[in-house]
Structure formats: structure tokens, C-alpha cells
Amino acid sequence: MLGMGSGQPNRLESSRIALTKAGEEVKGAALASDAFFPFEPGGSIREGDAVDCRDKYGVSLLFTNVRHFSH
């Protein structure tokens, strides 16, 4: 693990903390989250927003097809 931004209610801030901790080593690394990346993929009504963002920035997005919680 290069960086971790755990314990933050704001997932964007959590990502910023992890990136800062990882520093230059972050290039070519993968990002994982146990929660929401701003519009949770995998069944959310805003899943399309996550896919559009992925397409815009050319990043990979893996769908497990498993929802760990419902809301």
C-alpha cells in the first residue's frame, strides 16, 4: 500500500490524503475503495456518472457485481 486515507467521511478528501501520502510512487498504481467514489458504481442510480468519469480520464473500473449494502 502506497497511501491510505481512511476514516474520512468525505471520500474525495480521503483520496487526496492517500495520494499525498503515496507521493510520486502513485504513478501506475491502482486505487481501491470500500465505499463511494463519488457516484458509486455497481447498482447505484448514478452509476453512469462513474462510468462517464472513467471514460473521461481513461482509467480502469472493475465491477464485482456484488453489492455489500443496500440503501
For the chain, give every domain's residue range: 1-33, 36-71
Exposed/middle/buried for residue 64 (C-beta within 10 Å: 0-12, 13-18, 19+): exposed
Please tell me the predicted confidence (pLDDT) of residue 55: 93
The residue-averaged pLDDT of 33-52 equals 71
Q: Is the pLDDT of residue 70 over 70?
A: no
The residue-averaged pLDDT of 19-26 equals 88
Q: Is the pLDDT of residue 49 over 80?
A: yes
- 8-state DSSP, 7: T
